[in-house]
Chain A
Amino acid sequence: MEEILIELHVRKTIHTTNVDEILDINIKIPKYGFVTFFGKSGVGKTTLLKIIAGLTKPDSGYIKVGNEIWFDSTKKINIKPQQRNIGFVFQDYALFPNMTVKEHLLYAQPQKETKYVSELLDVFHLKGLCQRKPDKLSGGQQQRLAVARALARKPQILLLDEPLSALDSETRQLLQYEIIQAHKNFHATTLLVSHDVNEVFKLSDFVYVIENGKIQKQGNPDDVFNSTRLTTNIQLEGQILNIEKNVLIVSINNTVTEIITTEEEISNLKVNDKILITVKATNPVIRKLTDIEISKVTYFPM
């Protein structure tokens, strides 16, 4: 059995535009693990990270990290974020416009360790940029700086709040690799918030799927996504443009397709209905895409 680092059971009411939702999370995270919180936006994934960081106070519950209690509503314990040994990478990076790359890392350290700073600069390919301020960095470089800054404190826990969502897919893939490296090299237990299945598969060894404020599924990414995503059927979402007797004219991924079926089957459908089309994935025609065709495929995050 792995050593448990974080034990947490918290409840927090989240005020959204439509309804107030109750976030109720009860989890145990192993030491040195890479865990992802997966779910649609607005389900409280970021709130959960902020609760762990001490930036948001839960309504009730407890957070135990190692032997320390960070939060306990019954004992009225709530340790300040400053005293929680964490590194937080914000979705907007939250870089300080007044500081250069190097100043960021030095600021983040409790004691100045120039050797560790230059190690971080090396690992995150920021050495040549160390006198630049954030406005002179590209998106990818800003993101690397944000991770490097979070690690400069040598945190026990690294919290990543959708760190790659603002980047194009190429940079994203590059940085996914760097995050894995960072996780391995710096031995921080890492908690990632993501809504991108690819990212979850590549990065994490455990995933919690959050829906309606609760953990709906948990396990390693293969197990969690197998049941819903690995099937022998191909599922396509489409919208009916027109119906002619037993022929459906459907728009699938912006391609207009003619589907021949029986009148019975489509008797309860009408124009503009959204439909799910399931096709058996046996013996389909497969061809490799040319580079030009690939460049036309737009990346749709979930």
Chain B
Amino acid sequence: MTPRVPSTRETRIPGQVPGNLPSTSSPAPLLLKEKGPGVEVIKLKTMDAFFFQTFWISIKLASLTTIVLFCVGIPIAYFLTYSSFRLKIILQALVSMPLVLPPSVLGFYLLIAFSPNYWFGNFLDQYFDIRLAFSFTGILIGSIIFNLPFMVNSIQNGFSNLPVSLKDASYTLGKSRLTTVFRVLLPNMKPALLTGVCLTFAHTIGEFGVILMIGGNIPGKTRVAALAVYDEVQALNFDTANKYAVFLFLFSFVVLLFIYSVNREYLKWKKF
């Protein structure tokens, strides 16, 4: 016997064909009404499996987003801090856009971009056989763009809080820009780097709108914990929703607590 029941819900995403959804969807075990020890056991097991699978996707997404953004964020932040290029203010504004832009707007445009009906999506489809809409790679790209300000702004703060003379001193010792960044600047702004990493990771875990728009809430593929809360509430499974919610709540709290305590330690150390 199987406890799996076809999903009774469908996430309403523009352009999404219900047939695209894998048939394995649904945390349905909670919908089972039958009593009996056997059913109860399977129900629990499946519930846990779903639960962990969803969190696993969340963590995978957040880790990859953080790793990519860490590598991309350092050069962008460096440029924004030290460049005397006049138009850099435009780049600064673009980087910070996701802070004020409704996630649905970003999600909408990404969805359009990824759609094979438009040139970019079509190009990817034709030449690389890649379809980004409703895929994990798709939500990863969305999440990288959406979290850009959290990483870049933190690192940028780190750079601008360092005395300029540190950079100058390293230059007068004959060291190149790259050596200066890796041997002098970055090692002396660890709290800023840590803040960027933690904020990005935590914020990706909590991301909702963009992923819903371009990911399509496909279990095992693009359904993350934050979406699961919404989904379970829609299905009136308040217990399960609560389970996800408590985890997310505690997780966010612990991450912020960690960032603040580390930075406080650092400030004490820095006073000399």
Do A and B associate with each other?
Answer: yes
- Please name the residue on chain A nearest to B179 by beta carbon: A107
B83 to chain A, nearest CB (A): 15
B175 CB within 8 Å of chain A: yes
Q: Indicate if the CB atoms of A82 and B163 lie closer than 8 Å.
A: no
Interface-facing stretch out of A22-30, A34-42, A94-102: A94-102
A61 to chain B, nearest CB (A): 20
| Docked complex Cα distance between A83 and B176 (Å) | 10
Interface residue count on the A side (C-beta < 8 Å): 28
Category for how many chain B residues contact A: 10 to 19
Q: Indicate if the CB atoms of B174 and A110 lie closer than 8 Å.
A: yes
Contacting A90 at CB < 8 Å: which of B168, B187, B270? Answer: B168
B94 to chain A, nearest CB (A): 29
B183: A residues at CB distance < 8 A = 107
B8 CB within 8 Å of chain A: no
- Please name the residue on chain A nearest to B172 by beta carbon: A88
B269: A residues at CB distance < 8 A = 135
Which B131-188 residues sit within 8 Å CB-CB of chain A? 163, 165-166, 168-176, 183-184, 187-188
B224 to chain A, nearest CB (A): 37
B170: A residues at CB distance < 8 A = 96
A25 to chain B, nearest CB (A): 20
Q: Indicate if the CB atoms of A96 and B188 lie closer than 8 Å.
A: yes
B-contact bits for A66-86, CB 8 A (1 contact / 0 none):
000000000000001111101
Most chain A beta carbons < 10 A, residue from B165, B170, B173, B270:
B173
A97: B residues at CB distance < 8 A = 188, 270
A149: B residues at CB distance < 8 A = 169, 173
A158 to chain B, nearest CB (A): 11
B127 CB within 8 Å of chain A: no
B168: A residues at CB distance < 8 A = 50, 53, 55, 81, 88, 90, 94
A135/B187 contact (C-beta < 8 A), A81-B171, A90-B168 known: no
Q: Indicate if the CB atoms of A96 and B171 lie closer than 8 Å.
A: no
A153/B173 contact (C-beta < 8 A), A107-B183, A135-B269 known: yes
A44 CB within 8 Å of chain B: no
B272 CB within 8 Å of chain A: yes
Q: Indicate if the CB atoms of A98 and B272 lie closer than 8 Å.
A: no
B187: A residues at CB distance < 8 A = 96, 98
Q: Indicate if the CB atoms of B174 and A94 lie closer than 8 Å.
A: no
A96/B184 contact (C-beta < 8 A), A134-B272, A135-B272 known: yes
Q: Indicate if the CB atoms of B166 and A94 lie closer than 8 Å.
A: yes
| Docked complex Cα distance between A132 and B176 (Å) | 25
Contacting B173 at CB < 8 Å: which of A54, A92, A108, A135? Answer: A108
A87 CB within 8 Å of chain B: yes
A94: B residues at CB distance < 8 A = 163, 165-166, 168-169
Q: Indicate if the CB atoms of B169 and A88 lie closer than 8 Å.
A: yes
A90/B184 contact (C-beta < 8 A), A110-B174, A135-B272, A153-B174 known: no
Q: Indicate if the CB atoms of A92 and B163 lie closer than 8 Å.
A: yes
| Docked complex Cα distance between A54 and B184 (Å) | 19
Q: Indicate if the CB atoms of A98 and B169 lie closer than 8 Å.
A: no
20 example contacts (A-B, Cβ-Cβ < 8 A) are as follows A53-B172, A54-B171, A81-B171, A82-B174, A86-B172, A88-B168, A88-B172, A90-B169, A92-B165, A94-B163, A94-B166, A96-B166, A96-B188, A98-B184, A107-B175, A108-B173, A134-B272, A135-B272, A149-B173, A150-B172
User: Residues of A with Cβ closer than 8 Å to B?
Assistant: 50, 53-55, 80-84, 86-88, 90, 92, 94-98, 107-108, 110, 134-135, 149-150, 152-153
User: Residues of B with Cβ closer than 8 Å to A?
Assistant: 163, 165-166, 168-176, 183-184, 187-188, 269-270, 272
Known pairs A54-B171, A97-B188 / 16 extra A-B pairs, C-beta < 8 Å: A50-B168, A81-B172, A82-B174, A83-B174, A84-B172, A87-B172, A92-B165, A94-B163, A94-B165, A94-B166, A107-B175, A108-B174, A135-B269, A150-B172, A153-B173, A153-B174
